Amino acid sequence: MSPYSTLAALQDQPCSKQKSITFFEHDKSTNELLPACVEIPTDGTDEWEIDMKQLRIEKKVACGSYGELFRGTYCSQEVAIKILKPERVNAEMLREFSQEVYIMRKVRHKNVVQFIGACTRSPNLCIVTEFMTRGSLYDFLHKHKGVFKIQSLLKVALDVAKGMNYLHQNNIIHRDLKTANLLMDEHEVVKVADFGVARVQTESGVMTAETGTYRWMAPEVIEHKPYDHRADVFSYAIVLWELLTGEVPYSYLTPLQAAVGVVQKGLRPKIPKQTHPKLTELLEKCWQQDPAQRPDFAEIIEMLNILVHEVGEDERQKDKHGGYFSGLRKGHR
């Protein structure tokens, strides 16, 4: 059993004062009763509340309509600090901020950006996470004109799929999966980030709000139809195509035109002809118009693992004279 599953098991068994006898064990060395559930002292604050005295804000990394992203340190650890602009704070922003903190403090996975803490006391509303030194995949592809070899592409695809599979297993729908929200650390590990519009899936399992970014958005979300975790799978397919081609999805259309085309005409990005057949198959499965026809991320991981093996075998045999991969963008990260 993993440490996380052990922790989850413990968390499912809260202390009970009424049944204290059932929650105690004997210390064989002293024959004393020991509590199986340990009460942790508290000073009245949540452990994730940031002590602003320990937070050092340094270089501004990015700026948006509602907030700014800074690089800094917290208790000597390098961190990213997302600060809400006080003058732009409204009720909707506060709901999203609250939801993001609520979700991030629950998730722990090597392919999900690590939450450090948050300041929830106005006017210093901020979220602090680990700092991802290599930035977003969007910047890598489109600002720095980075390219992926097939092995690197599949590694990134697996990183994202594993992070998303973990979120879905915990009933979290990201709702805005795109390369701008996928970050790379110094070890080239890719992690899912930005949970501002993420939601915990309800018992009914469906949502209807249009949320996300048009070029990556699933057709059922665009149409305000009921949707579930499979909407993230559609967005993942667009991300995968973007990694493959290095192009912005539907770059020849406005975002709204792209959305209309996806819904009304079944528009999808054009897959390069010499793409590995199994990668083409994966893309086409993940962006099916009917959400029920899309695989879940556990299936996607299986497909990618098979593809990694086949690519390795093919490249060993065909490295000198091209083969399936001659049509891919060539280069290194």
Three-state secondary structure of 54-91: HEEEEEEEEECCCEEEEEEEECCEEEEEEEECHHHCCH
pTM of the model: 0.81
From residue 170, alpha-carbon distances to 99, 202, 220, 231 in Å are 15, 11, 22, 16
Domain final residue pick, 130, 149, 164: 130
Q: What CATH code is carried by the domain that includes residue 112?
A: 3.30.200.20
Are 102 and 149 part of one and the same domain? Answer: no
Are 301 and 244 part of one and the same domain? Answer: yes
Q: Is 19 a member of any domain? A: no
Q: Is 17 a member of any domain? A: no
Are 118 and 141 part of one and the same domain? Answer: no
Q: What is the mean predicted confidence (pLDDT) over 31-48?
A: 62
Q: What CATH code is carried by the domain that includes residue 226?
A: 1.10.510.10
For 98, the enclosing helix (H) or strand (E) is helix 91-104
Q: What is the mean predicted confidence (pLDDT) over 39-58?
A: 78
pLDDT tens readout for residues 229-250: 999 999 999 999 999 999 999 9
CB count in 10 Å sphere of residue 248: 14
Torsion angles phi and psi, residue 4, rounded to 5: -70, -40
Domain final residue pick, 86, 101, 130: 130
Are 253 and 153 part of one and the same domain? Answer: yes
Are 257 and 176 part of one and the same domain? Answer: yes
Residue 30 is predicted with a pLDDT of 62
Interatomic CA distance for residues 293 and 285, integer angstroms: 7
Are 122 and 239 part of one and the same domain? Answer: no
The question of whether 176 is a catalytic residue gets the answer yes
Which domain does 107 fall in, by range? Answer: 52-130
CB 150 within 8 A of CB 157: no
Phi-psi category of 200—alpha, beta or left, where left has phi over 0 and alpha has psi -120 to 50? beta
What whole-number percentage of the chain has pLDDT above 70? 79
Are 78 and 170 part of one and the same domain? Answer: no
What is the residue-wise DSSP string for 303-332?
HHHHHHHHHHHHHHHHGGG-GGGGGSPP--
Q: Is 1 a member of any domain? A: no
What's the chain's length in residues? 333
Q: Is 28 a member of any domain? A: no
CB count in 10 Å sphere of residue 122: 10
Are 126 and 141 part of one and the same domain? Answer: no
**Torsion angle, alpha carbons of 194, 199, 201, 206, to 10:** -110
pLDDT at residue 3 greater than cutoff 50: no
Residue 44 is predicted with a pLDDT of 59
What's the pLDDT band for 108 if we cut at 50, 70, 90? Answer: very high
Are 83 and 125 part of one and the same domain? Answer: yes
Are 193 and 112 part of one and the same domain? Answer: no
> Nearest-5° angle of CA 99, CA 101, CA 104?
105
Given the residues 12, 46, 51, 176, select the one marked as catalytic: 176
Q: Which residues contact 201 (CB under 8 A, 6 or more apart)?
A: 171, 172, 173, 207, 228, 229
Q: Which residues contact 80 (CB under 8 A, 6 or more apart)?
A: 61, 69, 70, 71, 72, 128, 129, 130, 131, 132
Q: Is 164 a member of any domain? A: yes
Are 224 and 100 part of one and the same domain? Answer: no
Count of domains for the chain: 2
CB 172 within 8 A of CB 107: yes
Are 122 and 191 part of one and the same domain? Answer: no
What's the pLDDT band for 10 if we cut at 50, 70, 90? Answer: very low
Domain final residue pick, 130, 164, 192: 130
